[in-house]
Amino acid sequence: MSICEKFLLRLYITGHTPRSERAIKNLRRICEHDLSGAYEMRVIDILEQPQLAEDEKILATPTLIKVLPPPLRRIIGDLSDTEKVLLGLDLLPVDLNLQ
């Protein structure tokens, strides 16, 4: 997969809690570092737009949805486990763990 492809990411949070802020900060860091800036990120506060959470059937917050490139993936949590986030963004070779 080419890194040049632009990533479209959506981060759902419930209010600006410390956990939400942590998730935003972690995501920014990973994006800048591993996506070399080729991304578009949108933060959605469910408390303000609950219908968007209903449409996406989101249960947990924070939830990160990788809209593009396919496949669609969901990562929940404050994104503090960078390796898991990279796995979810398909930026880690899956067979790495198997060897």
Partner 1 sequence: MSIENPKIPVEKLSTGIEGFDLISQGGLPKGRTTLITGTAGSAKTVFAAQFLAEGIRKTDEPGVFVTFEEHPAEIRKNLLSMNWNIAEWEERGLWRFVDASPQPGHESIESGEFDLGALLARIEHAVRTINARRISIDSLGAVFTLFSNVLLVRSELRRLSAALKGIGVTAVMTAERTQEFGEIARFGVEEFVADNVIILRNVLEAEKRRRTIEILKFRGTTHQKGEYPFTVLPDQGIIIIPISAIELKQRSSAMRVPSGSPEMDRMCGGGFFRDSLILVSGATGCGKTLMTAEFIGGGAKKGERCLLFAYEESREQLLRNAHGWGIDFEALEQNNLLRMVCAYPESAGLEDHLIAIKREIDSFKPDRVAVDSVSAMERVGTNRGFREFMISLASFVKHREIPGMFTATTATLMGGPSVTESHFSSITDTIILLRYVEMLGEMRRGVTVLKMRGSMHEKDIREFTIDDKGMHIGKPFRNIIGILTGKPEYLNVDNADRLSGMFRD
Q: Which residues bind partner 1 (CB under 8 A)?
A: 12, 14-15, 19, 22-23, 26, 46-47, 50-51, 53-54, 57-63, 71-82, 84-85, 87-88
CB of 36 to partner 1, least distance (A): 21
Of 28 and 84, nearer to partner 1 (C-beta) is 84
3-state secondary structure of 66: strand
Q: Using CA atoms, how far apart are residues 84 and 72, in angstroms rounded to an integer?
A: 15
Contact 88/64 with Cβ under 8 angstroms?
yes
Closer CB to partner 1, 4 or 10, in the complex: 10
Beta pairing class for 7-13 and 63-68: antiparallel
